[in-house]
Amino acid sequence: MSEYDFHPLVKQLLDGDITIADLPAELRAEGEEALRLLAAVDRSPVALPAIPQRVMRALTRPPQRFPRWLLAPALALAAALVLWLGRSHGPMATPGSEAAITVHFVLSAPGARAVSVAGTFNQWDPRASPLVRAGANGMWTATLKLPAGQHQYAFVVDGVRWVPDPAAPAVDDGYGRRNSVLTL
Amino acid sequence: MILTVLALLGMQQGIADRLSGRVPADVGAVVESLGTSAAARGLPIDPLIQKAIEGSAKGVPSARVIAAVRLVAMQLDTAAAALRAGGMISDTLAIAAGAFAINAGMDAGDITNLLMRRGGQTTVNVRLELNVAGTLVAIGVPSAEAADLVSASLQTGRPATDLLSLPSLVQGEVARGATPAQAAAGLARAAAAQARHGPPPGRPQPPPHPPSSPHP
């Protein structure tokens, strides 16, 4: 209990709900003490002139100009962010890609254990597009959907041997071999 | 200026990301440098990246991969110059198509001639024309004849996508005994006649769409 924890009736007295005469006799001394303490309180208004003035100054202060020397770096950062976001999200747009066109790849490789096709359309990944054996005559086939445009590719036999498509035009691959060409 | 520098830095990072895990570090460093430089000149970078990845996938030593990528960069520069000389405000895809045609054996001057003979076609058609011309050269049609055939075919007024049937038409003639040059010259004459007089009566038109398979 604190020093000024008065009886509830005394608190009512302080609140002005009752008078000192309404208190029981045993509480009147406590009530008088409470009234004496309350009277000693300085009730003059608190003067805080600095606070409203500071608030008003803040409200009426013109907005600070963005430093011009920061404008170019800020725009550059924004542009870099846009570039980064564009690169990080969404599929990488194949240049000139339109509707996908179904292409059927066929290779005769009777002795092969595995055949795949790798090219510009699958980042030259020999594991990305395997062909399946079609029947017992050594034919291997795969059907892919490719975007319109020019594609270069080669078959990969047994994971190590790069073979151009004998049925398609071919160009020098720059590595001493030929790449087959498919223009859709 | 700062925007440009940052864009190029972003480009370099993009190249590095695409090459990550696909090529040795020494190849990657060179391709990043070549790609950034190419992009600054308005050239496409995808052919450089593709060539590097292709070489590494094929197990080619780094020095040879780098040499091949440098060659592609030169072909892109040559193609861009040919397109500019032909009056074409080129985009990167048209330049890539021109570089493909050059790699196939097409002369840069023939690319310029082809572009100068065309009308107000769209840039999309330029890519198509150069891809088809390059494919014709790849099957043995001489460069000038390939340009002539594409140009004559455009004059017929048929859809540009009909150009896609030209390589198979040439191959069909070759299968019947013509040389690629003879086949292309014959088809170009037929196209020129059609442009003057319209298609011959009763003669079937080439397919409106390209064959959907290299093995139709």
Q: Are B20 and B12 in contact (CB under 8 A)?
A: no
Give the pLDDT score at A88. 31
Residue B143: both structure tokens together: 């460069």
Q: Considering CB atoms only, which of B10, B93, B135 is closest to A80?
A: B10
- Write down the residue that tokens 């509830």 correspond to: A8
Grade residue A14 by pLDDT with cuts at 50, 70 and 90. confident
CB contact under 8 A, B100 and A171: yes
The answer, for B175 touching chain A at a CB cutoff of 8 Å, is no
Residues in B touching A80 (Cβ below 8 Å): 6-7, 9-10
ipTM above 0.90, yes or no: no
Give the pLDDT score at B5. 65
DSSP letter at A130 equals: B
Give the pLDDT score at B216. 40
Give the pLDDT score at A89. 31
CB contact under 8 A, B14 and A180: no
Mean pLDDT of A32-54: 62
Give the pLDDT score at B123. 64
Q: What is the mean pLDDT of chain B?
A: 87
H/E stretch holding A178 reads strand A178-183
Grade residue A43 by pLDDT with cuts at 50, 70 and 90. low
The DSSP-derived string for B156-191 is T---GGGGGGHHHHHHHHHHTT--HHHHHHHHHHHH
Give the pLDDT score at A31. 81
Beta bridge partners of residue A144, listed in sequence order: A103
The Cα–Cα gap between A131 and A140 comes to: 6
The Cα–Cα gap between A6 and A8 comes to: 6
Give the pLDDT score at A55. 53
Q: What is the mean pLDDT of chain A?
A: 75
Is the pLDDT score of A97 beyond 70?
no
Residues recorded for chain B? 216
CB contact under 8 A, A75 and B100: no
CA distance, residue A63 to nearest chain B CA (Å): 27
Give the pLDDT score at A39. 72
The Cα–Cα gap between B104 and A178 comes to: 11
CB contact under 8 A, A104 and B58: no
Residues in B touching A162 (Cβ below 8 Å): 58
Residues in A touching B132 (Cβ below 8 Å): 183
Give the pLDDT score at B211. 42
The answer, for A134 touching chain B at a CB cutoff of 8 Å, is no
Beta bridge partners of residue A179, listed in sequence order: A171
Q: Considering CB atoms only, which of A79, A124, A170 is closest to B7?
A: A79
Chain B: residue whose CA lies nearest to A142:
B213
Mean pLDDT of A61-65: 54
CB contact under 8 A, B55 and A83: no
Q: Are A112 and A140 in contact (CB under 8 A)?
A: yes
The answer, for B213 touching chain A at a CB cutoff of 8 Å, is yes
Is the pLDDT score of A45 beyond 60?
no
Question: Is residue A79 exposed (0-12), middle (13-18) or buried (19+ Cβ within 10 Å)?
Answer: middle
The Cα–Cα gap between B202 and B204 comes to: 6
Give the pLDDT score at A90. 28
Between A18 and A132, the more confident residue is A132
Mean pLDDT of A33-50: 62
CB contact under 8 A, B57 and A118: yes
Does the CA dihedral B100-B104-B105-B106 come out positive or negative? negative
Distance from chain centroid for Cα A56:
40
Grade residue A1 by pLDDT with cuts at 50, 70 and 90. very low
- Write down the residue that tokens 């950062």 correspond to: A77
Any residues with CB less than 8 A from the CB of B124 and at least 6 apart, and which? A96, B160
Give the pLDDT score at A36. 76
Residue A63: both structure tokens together: 């907005």
DSSP letter at B21 equals: T
Which of these ranges, A68-82, A155-169, B2-16, has the smallest mean pLDDT?
A: A68-82
Residue spans of chain B under pLDDT 50? 207-213, 216
